[in-house]
Amino acid sequence: MKKLLLATSILAATTGYAAAEISLTGDARMGVVYDGEDVQFSERARVKFNLSGQTDTGLEFGASFRADQASGSASGGSFGATDSKRGTVWISGAFGQLTMGDVNSAAEEAIGDLSPVGFSGLGDLSDIPYISGDGADTLDQGPGALYSYTISGFEFHLGMTDGSRQFGLTETVPGEDDLGNPIDITREAERDTTYSVAVAYAADNYKVALGYLDNGEYEDNGLGNYGGSQWIISGETDVAGFGVKAFYTSYDDVVDSNFDVEADKTYGLNLDYQFGATTGTGFARRDELASNNEFGDDKLDTFGIGAIYDLGGGASLRAGVVDTDLIVDENGKGQTVADVGVRLNF
C-alpha cells in the first residue's frame, strides 16, 4: 500500500527520545452490486492513521486506527478501562510483538482467509470462520491481546479477549433474594474470557498452520449464542503462478448464527492464477451442521469466482460472482450475488 507521509519525523522536546513517524493510508471503492434481487450502486472511502516510533534501545512501538474509529479508539471507561476495541496499539522487540485492541485471534493471525472475490467482498464469504478475535461472528468479546513470535520459519501466536461486560446490553440469570428464594436477576451481559493459540511453519513456497480457539462455556441468553471451541488446520502453496490454499475446521458447542443450529465443521479451498496484470480467483466452501436447519439442510455450499486487473498506482478493476447457501430467502433457497467495480489503495 502506497503511503502518503504526513510527517517524516516529530522530535521530542526532551532529548533521549527517538524520532516518531505518523503516516496516512487509505482505500476506496466504487461500482455496482447485484444483491440477489436488485442492482445497486456501492461506494466507500476510508482513511487510516499509522503511528510508529523506536526507543534508544531499539524497542519499536506503534498504533493504528481508521478515521471513522477515532472517537472509539480514544474512548475509555472508569479507572482507565475501556469497552472499545477500535484500532490497535503494539510494541515489539527481540521478545516478539504484543498488540492490543481490535486484533485477530491467534489462529487467524497464523492462517488468514481465502482470497476475496469482487470489489466489495460480496459478503466476505471467502473469510475463514473464527469464533474469537477481530471479525468473529459472535457478540462483542471486548478488546483483545495478541502475542506473536517468529523464528527460523516458525510462528507462535497466543491470543485472548478480556470477556468484558457488554455495556448497554442486559441478560437474565438465575439468582436468589435476601431470603434465599430463587429469582431471576437482570444484570449487564458478561462474557467468558476467550483464548486462542496457533503455530505455523513457512518455507519458500508453502505454509502449514494449526490453531485452537476456546470461548468458554456455551450460553444462550436471548442476546445471541456464545461459547464453544474450535480446531483448525490449513495449508497453502504457490507454484508456477498458481496459488492454492485449503483449510479444515471443526467445532464443539458452537452455534451457526445463520440458522441457530449447532455447527459441526467447515472446510474450503481457493485457487489463484496470475497472468500478466490479471489474477483469476476461485473458492469453494462447505459448512456442515450437526443437524438439519429449518429448511431440512445440513450441508451448505458456497462457490465464488472473480478476476482482478491491476491498473497500477494502487488502482485495480475487480469483478466477482458468489453462489451461496448461507444466505437464503424465505423458502430456504440460496442466493447468487455479483459485483463489478474499481478498488483504490492510497
Alpha-carbon distance 126 to 140, whole Å? 22
**Which pLDDT score is estimated for 86?**
73
Cβ distance 55 to 76 under 8 Å?
no
Number of domains in the chain: 1
Domain encompassing residue 228: 4-345
Instruction: Specify whether the CB–CB gap between 144 and 136 falls below 8 A.
Output: no
Where does 177-314 show beta strands of DSSP type E? 182-189, 194-202, 206-214, 219-220, 225-226, 229-239, 242-252, 255-256, 261-275, 278-289, 299-312
How far is the C-alpha of 14 from the C-alpha of 203, rounded, in Å? 44
Three-state DSSP class for 20?
A: strand
- What's the pTM? 0.83
Tell me the CATH number at 235: 2.40.160.10
Instruction: Report the pLDDT value the prediction gives residue 168, as an integer from 0 to 100.
Output: 53
pLDDT given at position 240? 84
- For residue 134, the tally of other CB atoms under 10 A from its CB is 19
**Three cell numbers at 66?**
481508521
pLDDT score recorded for residue 93: 95
C-alpha cell at 49: 492513521
Tens of pLDDT, residue by residue, the chain (346 residues):
444 344 433 333 434 455 689 999 999 999 999 998 899 999 999 999 999 999 999 999 999 998 876 665 555 543 344 445 578 999 999 999 999 998 999 999 999 999 999 999 999 999 999 998 876 655 566 789 999 999 999 999 999 987 765 555 565 667 766 777 777 766 666 667 889 999 999 998 999 999 999 988 776 655 556 788 999 999 999 988 899 999 999 999 888 877 888 889 999 999 999 999 999 999 999 999 988 887 878 899 999 999 999 999 999 999 999 999 998 888 788 899 999 999 999 9
CB 248 within 8 A of CB 235: no
From 45, 116, 128, 114, select the one nearest 320 (Cα to Cα).
116
Is 213 within 8 Å of 130 (Cβ atoms)?
Answer: yes
Structure-block grid coordinates of residue 339: 459485483
* pLDDT reported for residue 160: 92
**CB 273, CB 288: distance < 8 Å:** no
Which residues, listed in sequence order, are joined to residue 187 by a DSSP beta bridge?
171
The reported pLDDT for the residue numbered 242 is 93
The answer to whether the CB of 105 falls within 8 A of the CB of 196 is yes
pLDDT at 195: 93
Residue located via cell numbers 469483478: 319
